Structure 1
Amino acid sequence: MRVVIVGGVAAGMSAATRLRRLDERAEIVVVERGEHVSFANCGLPYHLGGVIEHRDALLLQTPESLAARFRIDVRVRTEAVAIDREARALAVVDLATGERSWLPYDRLVLATGADAMPPLPGGGTPVHQLRTIADMDAVLAVLEAAPEGAPVLVVGAGFIGLEAVENLVARGQRVTLVSRGDRPLSRLDLALSEAVSDALERHGVELLLGTVVDEVVAGGARLSDGRTLDAALVLDARGVRPAARLAADAGLALGPRGGIAVDASHATSDPAILAVGDAVEQRDAVDGAPALVAMAGLANRGGREAADAIAGLPVAAAPALGTAIVQVFDRTVAMTGWSPEHAAAQGRPHRVVRTHPAHHAGYYPGAEQMSIVLVVDEADDRILGAQIVGGAGVDRRIDVLAVAMRAGLTASSLVDLELAYAPQFGSAKDPVNLLGMVAQNRASGVAAAIAWHDVEAAVAAGAVVVDVRTEAEHDRGAIPGSTSIPVDALRERLDELRGREVIVHCQVGQRAHVAQRILAQHGVAARNLDGGWLTWRAGDRARRRARALEHA
């Protein structure tokens, strides 16, 4: 059996090596249009910034090492250009000689990955992406030839753009980040995004949201806001789209999002052809809808499963949660599943739980605060998604929540998870347990809540906002028009609140929960501001940014 694999990075090489471990007799040929195979593309920004010191550390395998250990025929600088499905043959071009030839196959695996967006218009300043070893080398060559601290323009505030920004700053470059959207990371909750914007600006990055590059010009770029920025380099990180042209030209079915359509065993509309990685459409884990999820973990998993399917093992690919994490200077941002905005856009009735716990016991030195958003199905308490921004401990909690989603746990059942505890690692009530407690209170009707972005309308309709923090905390910053009644004095001032719609809040929501329960048991209906003052302040700042963009 001859298996031909198009693409030699994450998905393709996972398919090739797994298949060899399952079938010693198969003939396996991998064609890769780039110079390198099996390289660590997620590490590229960190070599740029000097975190990964040696370039060779990114080169995981070579054609020679793959041939020696796995007896795989790897052909670099070889581009697949056409598929003859009837003849079961793949047309390839040797990019060094221009010679075209045909590779017959019994099974074909398309791991073509993703293509960059169309080039930015104009020219005169070097424009590069950061997706391959060659890209990284080209970026380094420009920076090393430029004056020390030369300005760099990064276009796109997704994962690659943010990682590039951090590492360019580490090199001493003056960095401007331009993004079409109203926040860094389009999937990120608006209130959480403020911490990312703040981290960028605190580290000297000029952040231009709601802005695009109209034209690259000599010495810089002209922006949609009319400004022309100086730049020795423009780093294009606007995102990717599925590299599905080879499949489409062969008549293979594409999905509604433009990726290659596959079934649960990664087979395309032609049973002899499988497709994996960033080129394919995944199934969303929440509602099963087609989704584009360009993640290295999913690509590796898909490659392994494709090899299993070719070898005759049972395969049923799990849907995609889109679990991801990125570091932005001193902030860690992680997410899995749906955001609150996506749930709203899908018309899914949902609750949102917001907490601000410390990553380990507060009395143990070094506790760092994190902000967590949990999205919960209104009808069945199912977890729809989670997002976290903080310092230490974010990675551990997002992984627990991703596993909980995969296992089908309800939000309320998070309270029952038995998680490892010692004061330097967590708390007896872990942040994940605390989410479950809040979710349980909401589901049972014990606690009523209001979202930060609904406060303004509620106040306009006659609600009173009561700040139950101390008077000193209130004086340092408060919601406009709010009344200060510390929680310990609340029982003595109940008459001021009877007959009124009351919104209570504290710093993060815990004292306000006590206040809400006191009021409820004295006949005063009150709602707790979800996530407290910290959430309202961050959300208000982010909303002001967004409104400023609308009026710019």
Structure 2
Amino acid sequence: MKLVIVGGVAGGMSAAARARRLDESAQIIVLDKGKHVSFANCGLPYFIGDEITDPGALLVQTPQSLKAALNLDVRPEHEVVGLDAAAHTVTVKSAQGTHRESYDALILAPGANAVIPPLPGIGSARVRTLRTVDDAVALKDMADGAKDAVVLGAGFIGLEAAEALEKRGLNVTVVELAPQILPPLDAPMANLVQAELERLGISVRVGVGATEVIPGDERDVVVLADGTRIPADLIVISVGVRPATAVFEAAGIACDRGAILTDDHGRTNLPDVWAVGDATAAKDPVTGAVRPVALAGPANRAGRLVADDLFGLEGARPIPTPLGTAIVRAGNLTAAMVGANRRSLEQAGIDFDTIDLHPNQHAGYFPGASQIHLTVHFRANDGTILGAQAVGADGVDKRIDVLATAIRAKMAVGDLIDLDLCYSPPYGNAKDPVNLAGMFGQNVLDSTTALWHPADLDRVTQTSLILDTRSAGEFAGGHVAGALNIPHTQLRDRIDEVTAAAAGRPVRVLCASGMRSYIAHRVLQQAGFDSATLSGGMLALRAHLGDRGDSVIVKG
């Protein structure tokens, strides 16, 4: 067996290592166009920010170490420029020239290339991407002595690069064409992260794109669509990636918008050719949408499974559809997500409910307690969990990992109540945030809780009485105009005031985070009112409003 693998980073190298463990006699050749293989591309921003100081630490393996440990023939700076599936050969270009390499089996793991927007001046020497170790070294060198940086794109890489450059003392501006940063997040969660970036001193511009880069002798200028001109000593492009598949699509590999189509075991439409990683299309297990998922974890795991299938391992498991579990740090906050967000669920026409809650990550009486802002989407008819997001200073990863497991297991939101999770005051609560999400969601499913959401505010203010159940002091500090304030502890004795103020209208209740308004809602519901409680309370409302908050929330 002669196995040729195109691409030597996540999926490709995982497949190569597994292939060797399955067959000691196979000839395994790994071809990669870059200088380095098996490098920690997810660690590049942390090298720029000096949290990782040695660039050598980013090289997880080298051709020499892979030869010694696994007897792999790893060839960096060997670019595959052609594929002849009928002849079972690939055409390879290197410093030594161009040659053909035959194969018995071929795994395509070419990854993805950074998208470069076609802007005037984008070829300036001060414009960089962040995809390789050399990119990171160059950016770090450019940052020394620089004053101003512009990051185009506010996805994961863009925010990590922005934070790294801010740590180096640069004035950083992030520009995002979409109406929010981190498009995979729901807007209220993204607003929380944006506020943290701004607290760090990073300027964030959303809903506007760059139209031009004007190169200069000493610095460049980035021009935005609204006419804003931003001086820049360096510019980072992070507007997305595109599967690096043009060569293979031209050779007959079936693709969808450039992403290679495969079956459940990574097989392509051509015989003896498999594909894995960022260059492949994946079907969203929640919405059914087909798109590439450029994440290291799924690529590494899929590489192993492709090798199992290729070598005929009995009972080779299919590649699971990736849930898109992801996490990013922004200052003192962490944002994480899994599954579908609100926008994708609406586009797919799925009938779903959403809950928002803000529990502490561990016991409130233990020092260091802080809130986790948690959103969970679930199917309206049966409670199947469809997606979840969290933002907070601590404990975010643990909860999203648990919820990712729950989604993979096709659990309903009510099943979260029964999860037996770690508890000790420094680590969690007797009712973990995940358990609380289950209780909240089950209340919605069995109609003991009726919800209204921050997005409903404009309609609610026109049609309903808003009852604010916080204390008088909290109310004075900021409330929705026209709301009636009755603290929840006084409600039972003041029901007549609610009746008079509502005058037959529905009552929509809110508090700070949702707990007190839920209690009030249950009192009102059992007293015969058309009542609903604001999911996530004022915390969720402020996050939803973002910059609009000051015009909607009044004081006094």
Spell out the pairing of 1:386-401 with structure 2 (5 A cutoff): 386-401=388-403
Q: Does 1:190 find its partner at 2:180?
A: no
Whole-Å separation in 1 of the counterparts to 2:232 and 2:292? 32
Contact 2:151 2:238 survives alignment (8 Å): yes
Distance 1:63 1:520 in 2: 68
Name the aligned partner's letter for residue 390 of structure 1: G
Identify the residue that residue 158 of structure 1 maps to in structure 2.
Answer: 155
Structure 2 equivalent of residue 229 of structure 1: 230
- Flag structure 1 segments of 5+ consecutive residues without an equivalent: 548-552
- Tell me the SS of whatever aligns to 1:466: strand
Residue 160 of structure 1 aligns to which amino acid in structure 2?
I
Say which SS state the counterpart of residue 520 (structure 2) adopts: helix
Percent identity between matched residues is 43
CA–CA separation in structure 2 for the residues paired with 1:210 and 1:540: 15
Unaligned runs of 5+ in 2: none
Native 8 Å contact 2:180 2:190 kept in 1 = yes
- Distance (Å, rounded) in 1 between the aligned partners of 2:133 and 2:312: 35
Offset, 1:497: 2.6
Q: 1:161-180 to 2 correspondence within 5 Å?
A: 161-180=158-177
Letter in 2 for 1:343: L
Runs of 4+ residues deviating >4 angstroms: 542-545
Q: Distance in 1 between matches of 2:180 and 2:517?
A: 29
RMSD of aligned residue pairs (Cα, Å): 1.4
Q: Write the distance in 2 (CA, Å) between the matches of 1:211 and 1:342.
A: 22
Do structure 1's residue 494 and structure 2's residue 495 form an aligned pair?
A: yes
Partner of residue 6, structure 1:
6
Which residue does the alignment assign to 1:550?
none
Q: 2:441 aligns with which of 430, 433, 439?
A: 439
CA deviation profile, 1:353-374 (whole Å, cap 9, x unmatched): 0000000010111001110000
**What CA distance in whole angstroms lies between the structure 2 residues aligned with 1:124 and 1:241?**
21
Q: How far apart are residue 287 of structure 1 and its match? A: 3.7
Distance, in Å, in 1 between the alignment partners of 2:107 and 2:292 is: 19
In the alignment, what sits opposite 1:282? 282
One-letter code of the match for 1:107?
A: A
Distance 1:284 1:528 in 2: 32
Maintained 8 Å contact 1:125/1:217: no
- Shift in Å, 1:244: 1.7
State the Cα deviation string for residues 279-311 of structure 1 (Å, max 9, x = none). 000121214432221100011011111111111
Q: Does 1:371 align with 2:368?
A: no
Aligned equivalents of 1:521, 1:140: Cα separation in 2: 63
Q: Does 1:107 align with 2:116?
A: no
Which stretch has the larger CA shift, 398-407 or 216-225? 216-225
SS at match of 2:308: helix
Residue identity matched to 1:438: F
Q: Distance in 1 between matches of 2:443 and 2:525?
A: 14
How far residue 162 of structure 1 moved from its aligned partner, in angstroms, is: 0.5
Report the Cα distance in structure 2 between the residues aligned to 1:46 and 1:247, rounded to whole angstroms.
Answer: 33
Asked if structure 1 preserves the Cα contact closer than 8 Å seen for 2:351 and 2:379, the reply is yes
Corresponding residue of 1:70: 70
- Checking the alignment, whether the CA contact within 8 Å between 2:361 and 2:433 is kept in structure 1 is yes
State whether residues 249 and 258 of structure 2, in contact with CA within 8 Å, keep that contact through their aligned partners in structure 1: no
Structure 1 residue 121, shift from structure 2 partner? 2.9
Q: How does 1:195-210 map to 2 (within 5 A)?
A: 195-210=192-207
* Equivalent position SS for 2:479: coil
Describe the superposition over 1:330-356 as per-residue Cα deviations: whole angstroms up to 9, x where unpaired: 110000001122211211111000000
TM-aligned CA deviation for residue 242 of structure 1 = 1.3
Normalising by the residue count of structure 1, what TM-score does the alignment of the two structures yield? 0.96
The structure 2 residue matched to 1:118, chosen from 96, 116, 127, is: 116
CA distance in 1, matches of 2:279, 2:336: 23
**Residue type of the alignment partner of 1:406:** R
The equivalent of 1:326 in structure 2 is 328
Cα distance in 2 between the residues matched to 1:223 and 1:521: 55
| Residues 544 and 102 of structure 1, relative CA distance in 2, 3 Å threshold | farther
Question: 1:89 & 1:543 partners in 2: Cα distance?
Answer: 59
Whether 1:42 aligns to 2:47 is no
Contact 1:195 1:389 in 2 (8 A): yes
> Secondary structure of 1:299's match?
helix
Q: Deviations over 1:471-507 (max 9, x none)?
A: 1110111112111011111112212333331001111
- SS for the counterpart of 1:80 is strand
- Once the two structures are superposed, residues 1-37 of structure 1 have per-residue CA deviations (whole angstroms, 9 ceiling, x without a partner) of 1000000111111111110011100000011101001
Paired AA for residue 120 in structure 2: P
Rate the CA distance shift 1:544–1:5 in 2: closer, same or farther, 3 A.
farther
1:533 aligns with 2:538: yes
Does the 8 A contact of 1:215 with 1:221 survive in 2?
yes
- Counterpart code for 2:246: R
Aligned counterparts of 1:469 and 1:488: Cα–Cα separation in 2: 9
Q: Could you tell me whether the CA contact under 8 Å between 2:287 and 2:348 is conserved in 1?
A: no
Alignment partner of 1:473 is 2:474: yes
CA distance in structure 1 between the aligned counterparts of 2:547 and 2:448, rounded to whole angstroms:
30
Counterparts of 2:531 and 2:107, CA distance in 1:
59
Which amino acid is the alignment partner of residue 134 of structure 2? A
1:290 alignment partner AA:
V
TM-score norm. by structure 2 comes to 0.95
8 Å contact from structure 1 (residues 190, 543) kept in 2: no
- Cα displacement string for residues 177-218 of structure 1 (whole angstroms, at most 9, x for unaligned residues): 111111110011111111111011111111111121211112
Q: Cα offset for 1:111?
A: 0.2
Q: Distance in 2 between matches of 1:53 and 1:182?
A: 35
Write the distance in 1 (CA, Å) between the matches of 2:33 and 2:275.
17
Letter of the 2:212 counterpart: E
Question: For the residues of structure 2 that align with 1:315 and 1:529, how far apart are their CA atoms?
Answer: 44
SS at match of 1:121: coil
For 1:514, the equivalent position in structure 2 comes to 519
SS at match of 2:338: strand
Hey, what does 2:51 align to over in structure 1? 51
Which residue does the alignment assign to 1:242? Answer: 243
